Amino acid sequence: MTRSRSFTLIEMLIALALIVAMVFILMPTASRIMSSTTAASDHNHRLAQIALVSDVLDRAMLTAVAQDAAGRSAFQGSETSLKLTTCGVSLSPREAGTPDDLQTIELVFSGDTLSLRENGGSREIILTGIEKGTFAYNTGEGWAESNDGASGLPGVVAVSIWLRPNELEPVADDAEPDAFEEQDEHEPDWRRVFAVFDPAGASESSQGGGV
Amino acid sequence: MSRRGFMLLEILLAVTAAVMVATAGYALLDRVSGRVQQSSERLAASDLACSALALMEAGLASPENLNGSLHREVISLEDVEAGVMVRDPRYRLEIETTPSKWAGLVQVDVRVLPAEGEVALYEASQLIPSRGPSRGGGG
């Protein structure tokens, strides 16, 4: 009968040292993979939220009307909020006496969120993790921080959103700042200009004017 | 039974397995980062194209103003105040206009490319009024 030799102390210590070394080598990689996957998931979630904001605004601007049923200005825009009336059939419940084909949409930047309120209903948060968000309006006479719709609908509305930095996303150490970036405040993470379709403006444009 | 000499093979196998896991990890990491970067670029490019079309539709900028680099030192953009909303040094626009069969409307094709690249990241086309609306300003 052969006698099996047990491991010596030195063999055990070397094996243990190798295991510890391998854990230390693989730990940062595993950690980076985990955080990167989480950051990617978070990023995709934000992209989906921004796509929703973009879609809501796109549809609202295409169907915006200058006056409500009572003949008042139907467009109220400030730097942090935008309320407009659109035409079209809505499936959401509305107050008695409200015309069926007119509905109101209100978007408000508040705290670190952007909320949506339709037809005076409850507010629904559609974007989170915002550092700052602004609306800007252009009627052809430059960008303004507000527009009360008194002189009709603005030509375009620009929406700019600065997102809170994602702590999970790696920051490149060697990233050189843009020469112009240093002079101004940093550019928003998302910005889009929406054309406001104004049937009155469209009919006027066919009669003249030029760029 | 002696097991002398067997330990080296075990170590080699363990090291090989560790290297394979690390390589796979880095490959996965690169792929995830690449996808995130790609989706961000595509979103930015589509927003730029749609914003440029909106400015042209409203008569606040002309295709000539917006064609080219979106860097803020480009003179054509500085001529149009509305252009500050589409400046982005990472991209440039190629804008072509062609007559349409509808009176008063012109077809505008917008391509968004990286500042130094030739592969379009996003393309969009739209019919816009061939003459700006009367409320429109600075072109």
How far is residue A2's CA from residue A92's CA, in Å, rounded to a whole number? 85
Q: Whole-model pTM?
A: 0.73
Contact A143 B129 (CB under 8 A): no
A34 within some domain: yes
**Closest residue to B134, CB basis, from A47, A192, A209:** A209
Q: Which of A32, A205, A206, A207 to mutate to test the interface with B (most CBs of B within 10 A)?
A: A205
* pLDDT for position A125: 92
Report if residue A61 sits inside a domain.
Answer: yes
Instruction: Count structural domains, chain A.
Output: 1
Residue B8 has pLDDT above 80, yes or no: no
| A 132-161: CB under 8 A from B | 136, 138-143, 152, 155-156, 158
Structure tokens at A30: 């595993």
Query: Do the domain assignments include residue A1?
Result: no
Residue A19 in domain: no
* ipTM for this model: 0.73
The verdict on residue A198 lying in a domain is: yes
Tell me whether residue A17 is in a domain: no
- Please tell me the predicted confidence (pLDDT) of residue A78: 92
* Mean pLDDT value of segment B86-92: 84
Q: Does A22 contact chain B (CB < 8 Å)?
A: yes
Average pLDDT score over residue span A144-155: 86
Q: Is residue A54 part of a domain?
A: yes
Neighboring chain B residues of A140 at a CB cutoff of 8 Å = 58-60, 135-138
The 10s digit of each residue's pLDDT in A79-119 is 999 998 888 766 666 666 666 678 888 999 998 999 999 88
Q: For residues A83 and A172, is the Cβ–Cβ distance under 8 A?
A: no
Q: What is the predicted pLDDT for the residue at B132?
A: 46
Strand ranges, E, within chain A? 75-77, 81-87, 102-110, 113-118, 123-127, 130-138, 143-144, 156-163, 190-195
3-state helix, strand, coil split of chain A in percent (to 5) is: 30, 30, 45
* Environment class of A61 (CB within 10 Å of its CB; exposed 0-12, middle 13-18, buried 19+): buried
Q: Does B8 touch chain A (CB under 8 A)?
A: no
* Mean pLDDT of chain A, nearest integer: 78
Return the pLDDT at B58: 85
Question: Is-contact B36 B28, C-beta < 8 A?
Answer: no
Query: Residue A23: inside a domain, yes or no?
Result: no
Residue of A140, A192, A209 with shortest CB distance to B50:
A192
- pLDDT score for A93: 62
B36-52: average pLDDT:
87
What residues contact residue B109 under an 8 Å CB cut-off, 6+ apart?
Answer: B95, B96, B97, B98, B123, B124, B125
What is the pLDDT at residue A108?
A: 94
Tell me if chain A has a CB within 8 Å of the CB of B57.
Answer: yes
Domain that holds residue A46: 30-166+185-204
